A and B are shown apart, each in its own frame.
Chain A
Amino acid sequence: MCATCGCGSDEVVVTSVGTTGATAHDHPHEHPHGVGHDHAHPHEHVRIEARTHTIELETEILAKNDERAAHNRSWLASKGISAVNLMSSPGSGKTSLLERSIADFGPLRPISVIEGDQETLFDAERIRAAGAKAVQINTGAGCHLDATMVRSGLDRLEPEEGGLVFLENVGNLVCPALFDLGESRRVVVISVTEGDDKPLKYPHMFSAADLVVVNKTDLLPYVDFDMDRCEKDARRLNPGLEWIPVSVRTGENLEAWYSWLRAL
């Protein structure tokens, strides 16, 4: 089993969706076997000792992931790249938001994308078709991206210096919240069709975010979604949270999203 994401070691697959249509892939994880073990006590004279003893560790469980994330962050900074971790439920419109952003914002700052999904190359192919570089990470049974997967994705992606990299996380409002990827900002995308109770149902996700984009505002007349309540609940969890309602479909208020991106 992979020690970072808990998936089977052969399950995570990183795929470049290239212009030729060829899809090379590899398995990204480091598997440090038996790192830094002590050797057996060398003396020949056997002594009867206490059967067990305690080792104080006092170590963060996610220390390894956090170290790898810090490494990603400094590498990205050295290239002048801003990375945005995009998190949401499946179907909120993350990929559509990216397609539109590539068309509208891509000319101002080069965009490339690491796509995380359990299976398929669908999203990376959509991003490629929209005109940006993309790498697909298939996590298999894994429910989130981690810093090691992102490192492999960045190696394969070769993002432009000074550009913008989106890390489109696996669609899931629970697990991605705990794993630092080395991003500059965290964005949660929700849509009005999901209901306005998401912040209180998934508090960790909203606590960990810098910005919430509320998509599909063109559908507001047809659903019971209370924008004020949703925003207020989210700010109870995270007072500094920024909030941008948009419709990717009609383009409504996307300028606010682009202004936010410009400030990165």
Chain B
Amino acid sequence: MHELSIAASVVEAVLERTGEQQVSAVRLVVGRLSGVVPDALSFAFEIATTGTRLEGAALEIDEPSGRAHCRDCRSDFAVDDLILLCDCGSADVEVVSGRELQVASVEVG
């Protein structure tokens, strides 16, 4: 249940910027290859925000899908899991999206 730690880290990262302001919404980017489960994170977010300026804030999670780039044939392709194998047979593949774990923005006031 590392989503609870992730949720607590979200609270810390937001409060550092918003201070005493009441936060009404939080927008996260949680890539599909990040290893974080959005449903579990939403559940943990409610717990982690209790008693803070984020309590009751709406949580929106953008879930970018996985994209990879093959360094051999230079093609870009979609990946659904962490098995990084290009159709050309190469495993020299770099993940270009899907691993994001970011706070994009918040609504305050």
Residues of A near any B CB (own CB < 8 A): 1-6, 32, 34-38, 40, 49-65, 142-144, 146, 174-175, 177-179, 200, 203-204, 207, 235-237, 239
Q: Is the CB of A61 within 8 A of B101?
A: yes
Q: Is the CB of B82 within 8 A of A38?
A: no
| Count of A-B residue pairs with CB < 8 Å | 133
Judged by DSSP, the binding face of A is loop
Q: Is the CB of A59 within 8 A of B13?
A: yes
- Chain A residues with CB under 8 Å of B44's CB are 6
Q: Which of B70-95 contact A (CB under 8 A)?
A: 81-85, 91-92
- Chain B residues with CB under 8 Å of A1's CB are 8, 48
Task: Given A144-B2, A203-B82, answer yes or no on A35-B15 (Cβ-Cβ < 8 Å).
Answer: yes
Q: Is the CB of A52 within 8 A of B28?
A: no
- Chain B residues with CB under 8 Å of A3's CB are 8-9, 11-12
- Chain A residues with CB under 8 Å of B68's CB are none
Complex Cα spacing A117 to B75, Å: 44
Q: Is the CB of A2 within 8 A of B8?
A: yes
Task: Given A52-B109, A55-B108, A64-B12, answer yes or no on A38-B21 (Cβ-Cβ < 8 Å).
Answer: yes
Closest to B50 in A: A1
- Which of A55, A146, A207 is in CB contact (< 8 Å) with B106? A55
- Could you tell me the distance in whole angstroms from the C-beta of B64 to the nearest C-beta in chain A? 14
Residues of B near any A CB (own CB < 8 A): 1-2, 4-21, 24-25, 28, 35-36, 44, 48, 81-85, 91-92, 101-109
Task: Given A64-B13, A174-B2, answer yes or no on A6-B7 (Cβ-Cβ < 8 Å).
Answer: yes
- Could you tell me the distance in whole angstroms from the C-beta of A132 to the nearest C-beta in chain B? 29
Most buried by A among B4, B10, B107: B4
- Could you tell me the distance in whole angstroms from the C-beta of B103 to the nearest C-beta in chain A? 5
Complex Cα spacing A61 to B21, Å: 20
Complex Cα spacing A1 to B8, Å: 8
Q: Is the CB of A175 within 8 A of B107?
A: no
Known: A52-B24, A55-B106, A237-B82. 18 other contacts (CB 8 A): A2-B8, A4-B9, A5-B5, A5-B8, A6-B5, A6-B7, A34-B20, A35-B16, A37-B20, A51-B109, A54-B107, A56-B105, A60-B13, A61-B10, A61-B28, A62-B6, A179-B2, A207-B82
30 A/B residue pairs, CB under 8 Å, sorted by A = A2-B8, A3-B8, A4-B9, A5-B5, A6-B48, A32-B12, A36-B19, A37-B19, A52-B109, A55-B17, A55-B107, A57-B105, A58-B105, A61-B9, A61-B101, A61-B102, A63-B13, A64-B9, A142-B5, A143-B1, A174-B2, A175-B1, A178-B35, A203-B82, A203-B83, A204-B82, A236-B91, A237-B82, A237-B84, A239-B84
- Which of A55, A144, A239 is in CB contact (< 8 Å) with B5? A144
- Could you tell me the distance in whole angstroms from the C-beta of B43 to the nearest C-beta in chain A? 12
- Could you tell me the distance in whole angstroms from the C-beta of A241 to the nearest C-beta in chain B? 11
- Which of A51, A62, A200, A204 is in CB contact (< 8 Å) with B9? A62
